[in-house]
Amino acid sequence: TFGQEIFLKNVLSTVSVCNGSFSFRNAPSFFSLTNPSTSAAYHEIDAYMEMVDNHPSAPPFVCQSLLKLFGFSNADPVSVAACSKAYKEGKFTWTNPDDDQDTVQIGDGTQRGNLAAIAGSILLSRDALSPTVEQDPMSGGLKSPVLKLLEVLRGFKLTRSLHHRRTDGLLNNKVQEYFGESIYGTPDQFSFYDPFYQPAGGHKAAFIIAPEAELLNLGEVINAQNALYSVLSGQLHWCFNGVGASWGRGVSNSCGSLDGSNKYSPAYLDYSPVGNATDASNVVGQLATILTSDRLSLKNRALIEAAFDASRAEDGAVEAMRVAQKLIVTSPEFHSLGKVDLKNLT
């Protein structure tokens, strides 16, 4: 495919086990075990990766995995097929449903596995664009726990304190304990959870998977929420279940800088809302966009706006914003990537 030349080694190597009762063909190797070389190792690995990439099962397997990461834990076969087609052809063409002549092509079709084409097929799929699909209970998924932390840090402009040494880390080793995941700390090649995990109950009965739910035990749910609340105090520190590095400039048991000076904090959130910072609708609307992609329900939005107004009257606009932030990261819309069905609300 795509003009690639394949060179085969004319060697048949058969492996027998159980006194010859079972046998299988061993893959030919160009790597010499008696006289190994670095270049031969590179060539062997490249040949293996090309074989995996060109295997017929590679496109649907990769596409299903990527669709889960984009929030479609139970992607429908049509979306998987469209993504697989883009993978194999190296291009994706989107057609405007209202005008067949209006098309956009992503990828030039010269490279199998073109990531731009694959991403385009996912982001412009009917699952991503159709408002009716969102009503399907099988649509959407759960957020990966550590991504919730990164979403807060990035969305609210985590900024390194000027006095903090760049060689020092920003996060402590409690991230794994609190969230069940850590950045660059996967325990093995199978990652932190089973990609086909089915929670007990309705999910299992309906054959629906929710991989990230495997990490949602009571201890990690509580610890993760406390860690997020600690970060949303405005500063990154290790106190109160915080995940910031313990960096006290030689001061024993220094607990960040609760006075707002950042004296003992390695970093802080440098975010302020655009426009009127005392208007509940304006502030909560911006926070909902950052944390939930504007999926915060009208009911929860009204509750949080009321809490914002009450806190602003008592403690000022800055503290009111922090209250709103903490309430939103407690909402189901923040923890999921689909429609939330609110029940038992009075």
Q: Which of 271, 272, 274, 269 lies closest to 256 in space, CA to CA?
A: 269
In this prediction the pTM is 0.80
Concatenated DSSP letters for 45-83? HHHHHHHHHTSTTHHHHHHHHHHHHTT-TT--HHHHHHH
CB 201 within 8 A of CB 208: no
Instruction: In whole angstroms, give the CA distance from residue 254 to residue 263.
Output: 10
Residue with tokens 């995940």: 243
Tens digit of each residue's pLDDT (9 = 90 or more) over 56-100: 899 999 999 999 988 889 988 999 999 999 999 999 999 988 888
Q: Is the dihedral of CA 50, 52, 53, 56 positive or negative?
A: positive
Among 1-15, 137-151, 262-276, 318-332, which stretch is predicted with the lowest mean pLDDT? 1-15
Collect all residues with Cβ–Cβ distance below 8 Å to 138 and sequence separation of at least 6: 74, 76, 206, 208
Cα-Cα-Cα-Cα torsion 172, 175, 177, 183, nearest 10 degrees, comes to -110
User: Residues 245-304: pLDDT tens digits?
Assistant: 776 555 545 565 555 556 677 888 999 999 999 999 999 999 999 999 998 999 999 999
DSSP 138: T
pLDDT at 319 (0 to 100): 94
User: What integer pLDDT is reported at residue 314 of this predicted model?
Assistant: 94
pLDDT tens, position by position, 217-245 = 998 999 999 999 999 988 888 777 888 87
Q: What would the pLDDT profile of 182-215 be if each residue is shown by its tens digit?
A: 888 888 878 899 989 999 888 888 888 999 999 9
- Coil vs helix vs strand at 103: strand
Do the Cβ atoms of 159 and 270 come closer than 8 Å? Answer: yes
Q: With pLDDT > 70 as the criterion, what percentage of the chain qualifies?
A: 90
DSSP 111: S
Query: For all residues of the chain together, what is the average pLDDT?
Result: 86
